[in-house]
Amino acid sequence: MNLRIEEHPILVFKKGRKVSFTFGGKKLEGFEGEPIAAALHAAGIRLLRHSPHKDRPRGFFCAIGRCSSCMMEVNGAVNTMTCITPLADGMTVNMQKGHGVIEP
């Protein structure tokens, strides 16, 4: 089943243009302006990172940029909150290790 809602009794969804991005090197498609985590979710990906201490699998939880569960590396920037960061064409999205490393 496609997770994207095609028909809804009350809502119509206005989407941006279709763009492509990569996740772990794999090419995926999503809509410009929707949160990166939402585009990944629609593509069937909900494991976004592993927790720094116990290495537990994590996805997003709050979807409003409060809980930090969805942090990933986007275009090289670690700890990006993907649940509120809009998707743009050509983005490189990767899982990060632990708290991530910032290159000096």
Partner 1 sequence: MSRKSEVFVVGGGPAGLSAAIVAAKLGARVLLVDDNPMLGGQLVKQTHRFFGSSARDAGIRGISIAEKLRMEAQAIKKNLVVQLNTSAVGFYGEGEAGILTPERYEKVTYERVIVGTGAVENSLNFENNDLPGIYGAGAVQTLMNVHGIRPGKRILMVGSGNIGLIVSYQLLQAGVEVVGVVEAMPTIGGYLVHASKIRRLGIPIMTGHTIVSANGDLGVTGATLCQLDEKYQRVPNTEFEIICDCICLAVGLSPLIELFQQASCKMVFVPELGGLVPLQDGNMRTSNPRVYVAGDASGIEEATTAILGGRIAGARAFESLHGPSSDAQKIVDDAAGELKSLRSGSTGNRIRWGRERVTQEIASC
Binding site residues, partner 1, CB under 8 A? 1, 3-5, 8-11, 13, 15, 34-35, 38, 41-42, 46-48, 51, 56-67, 69, 83-84
Name every residue whose Cβ is closer than 8 Å to that of residue 58 and which is 6 or more positions away in sequence.
Answer: 47, 48, 49, 50, 51, 69, 70
- The amino acid present at 45, given as its one-letter code, is I
| Long-range contacts at 60-66 (CB < 8 A, ≥ 24 apart) | 63/35, 63/37
Provide the minimum distance between the beta carbon of 48 and partner 1 in the complex, in angstroms, as a whole number.
Answer: 7
Beta bridge pairs of residue 31: 18
Tokens in use for 57?
């699998």
Please report how close the Cβ of residue 86 comes to partner 1 at its closest, in angstroms.
Answer: 8
Nearer to partner 1, 47 or 101 (CB): 47
Nearest-approach distance from CB 39 to partner 1, in angstroms? 9
Nearer to partner 1 by C-beta: 98 or 101? 98
Cβ distance to partner 1 smaller for residue 57 or 101:
57
Indicate the DSSP class of residue 75: T
Nearer to partner 1 (CB atom), residue 61 or residue 101: 61
